[in-house]
Amino acid sequence: MAKAKPEPLVLKPAVSGNTKTDRGESSVKTNRYKVVIRCRRCGERFILRGRMTKEGKVETGFRQCLCDNDSDFDIRIEEL
Ligand SMILES: [Zn+2]
């Protein structure tokens, strides 16, 4: 049987207290993130750009490392 495609990694950025739902202020909203993913198995580093989804998660489209690792990562998220 064919191996199922791994789900894209979905990340939750650390929110610094401000979780207000203010629909009006779209000018201040940061919607782009730099995501640094380091594989804990082989040490490979990936630098990606992520977008915040409606659910408050950062979506990068990253699926897995070259070494087939798809869950064991050090992840850092920075606002752009
Ligand atoms: Zn790896």
Q: Is residue 71 part of a domain?
A: yes
- Taking a C-beta distance cutoff of 8 angstroms, is the pair 62, 69 a contact? no
DSSP for 53-77? Answer: -TTS-EE------TTS-SS-EEEEE
* pLDDT value of position 6: 72
Give the chain's domain count. 1
Q: Is residue 62 part of a domain?
A: yes
Tell how far the Cα of 42 is from the centroid of ligand 1, in angstroms. 4
Domain span at residue 36?
31-80
Give the DSSP letter of residue 6. Answer: P
Tell how far the Cα of 62 is from the centroid of ligand 1, in angstroms. 13
User: The pTM is what?
Assistant: 0.65
Q: Is residue 18 part of a domain?
A: no
pLDDT per position as a tens digit, 59-80: 999 999 999 999 999 999 999 8
Tell how far the Cα of 66 is from the centroid of ligand 1, in angstroms. 5
Tell how far the Cα of 80 is from the centroid of ligand 1, in angstroms. 26
Pull the structure tokens for residue 46. 């990936």
